[in-house]
Chains A and B, each alone.
Chain A
């Protein structure tokens, strides 16, 4: 874990240098770079004052962590295990990668379809649950979210290219928006019923904790 600690400290030090450089950027009419990090003639601190000196503090602290890590004085640098062992890398690639793919797909196939794919991927492949439960979750959860966000809250989530085609969401929107309150509540309950049925149908989940 010591190497991870050292790399992170260096990364943070570079980040603070970068922020210091960015904080010094002034609008064209205001004079050269770094003219805004001190006080002007009236004793008023400039726009870069706060972020610049904060990042300077961060730079000092990251170097402090770096020195301590090299001298094995910090907690993680004394631990023997790897910063990210195979399990940790698995978590980042499988779960983190899944979320990344979901966010990336949002602009293409709309957020709800991206969610459905992600849920199915996670529950079926990573969770090793039955196909019935996985499919039910992948359909019902985005459906609930759609009813909650797009219809009830009128906070439309991104539709990607499906918005241009206008063939899928537009009729759905009209259909659900014109629905009575009772039927609307029924739609929610139907989703719940599908989930309960799927839980009953699917066999006991395989005994993997992740």
Chain B
């Protein structure tokens, strides 16, 4: 069967009433989560991860829980723009670039223009990225099917290397974060020899290993919430928006006439930035904003309320979120923190992420891909139709929202793991994450690492068993022509910051 038939079949399944309802609920939750300052797609997906058991139990399908999580992800990308425009505070880090021009537009009394442009650009960005995704995913999965142990380890190394080489954070802190995640993943039993290890203080709780959900909810439910409570101190002021059908229609026309360029730049650039493991939607949207400004005929309008300036980052963050799904679904390597949590969702559903997914589980893969298109459509409709409702919801004080999130985190961890030990662990992780966050330690790498830790170690050691302990296997161009270049790129990425530092110090001396 060719891709289009598979996609059409998948879409039909995604359009079944139950899946449609799940999609709708997910999008609405996502819009809300995205719109609330301090909560992003990753918080929403992490806190609601335990509900996938419930959805699976009720629907009996593996696709439905994934459709739900992906819908939250998309919804949040739309929602982030609402608070960026109305409050001037990005609802999520992915919507930072939207404040640059969205806020000035709102202050000029054209909030509805900014909101409509954001929604439509998001829709176009998401849809274009979905088309790219549908085109690229099956061939990529086909190639990846031939991957053996060294190839997969090289890919994992590349995923971590991109954090080090392309991330904007302190390198030592990024490495510490990655290592913490990898070590936490190693707790419990050795995967190869079955020996117990790292069972600190001989506590029984550690012998079961540390569930990634515990770290993800600890970091994004408790840690980030504390951090948000710590950093947002003042009250916010909301701009007034006049919403009417006529105004929405005019704004839509204006989006197409003045914002097409930004939209197309964001849609295409966002997707490819999103694919890179460390990047995700935030750098994607910032880069697209920069490129749109550089190539614009009226760069002086940027920052003062340019429509292109709203369209580019909004198209890009949706496009990048789909881009981040590509390596997650085909290679089992998440392209962003949110997709790392989605990947844990796959594991919790007892699906093996990676290229075999396309081969073995077409009944899962294609409905999920079909739902990407549908979530996008639902998100734009809900967004445009219920703008007043979201503006009303934004008034919900944080003093009500925060305790609900804490309660959900505690209950969610217990429901998923059935252990008070894990709830305690989640709490301590959250507190630790809060302290690390204040000191600018990036935490997304730790979450990515605990997800990938098990498979990384397994592939490394199996490769070394193959090669009788020689590391040469990873750079052997003759026998492993795919693994070798990937490993070398990864090593260059890891060394890149060091080379740059050397150059800088030479400049200073010279």
- A interface residues with partner B (beta carbon < 8 Å): 1, 4-5, 8, 12, 16, 19, 22-23, 25-27, 30, 36, 39, 42-51, 54-55, 57-58, 61-62, 64-65, 68, 74-76, 83-84, 87-88, 91-92, 95-96, 98-100, 102-103, 106-107, 111, 115, 118-119, 122-123, 126-129, 137, 141-142, 145, 148-149, 152-153, 155, 157-158, 205, 207-210
Contacts and interface: CB of A to CB of B under 8 A. Distances in A.
Q: Which of B176, B193, B397, B406 has the most CB of A within 10 A?
A: B176
Given A30-B195, A55-B183, A95 B464 contact: no
B230 A91 contact: yes
A52 B98 CA distance: 44
Chain A interface SS verdict (over half): helix
A145 to B, nearest CB: 6
Nearest to B409: A99
Q: Which of A84, A100, A209 has the most CB of B within 10 A?
A: A209
Contacts of B415: 149, 153, 155, 157
Nearest to A48: B197
B400 A137 contact: yes
Contacts of B434: 92, 96
B410 A123 contact: no
B359 interface: no
Q: Which of B173, B236, B418 has the most CB of A within 10 A?
A: B173
Contact of A83 (B190, B193, B233, B439): B439
Q: Which of A1, A19, A54 has the most CB of B within 10 A?
A: A54
Interface in B401-429: 402-404, 406-407, 410-411, 414-415, 418, 420, 423-424, 427
7 contacts: A22-B198, A23-B197, A43-B464, A43-B467, A61-B175, A76-B440, A99-B427
A50 to B, nearest CB: 5
Given A47-B197, A75-B440, A145 B407 contact: yes
Sort chain B's interface into a size bin.
Answer: 35 or more
A145 B176 contact: no
Interface of B: 53-54, 57, 170, 172-173, 175-176, 179-180, 182-183, 186, 190, 192-193, 195-198, 200, 222, 225-226, 229-230, 232-236, 397-400, 402-404, 406-407, 410-411, 414-415, 418, 420, 423-424, 427, 430-431, 434-436, 438-440, 457, 460-461, 464-465, 467-470
Contacts of B182: 50, 54
B399 A126 contact: yes
Contacts of A99: 222, 406, 410, 427, 430
A158 B414 contact: yes
A205 B179 contact: no
B170 A74 contact: yes
Given A83-B438, A92-B226, A205-B397, A50 B461 contact: yes
A62 B173 CA distance: 8
Contacts of A76: 438-440
Contacts of A122: 399, 402-403, 406
A49 B403 contact: no
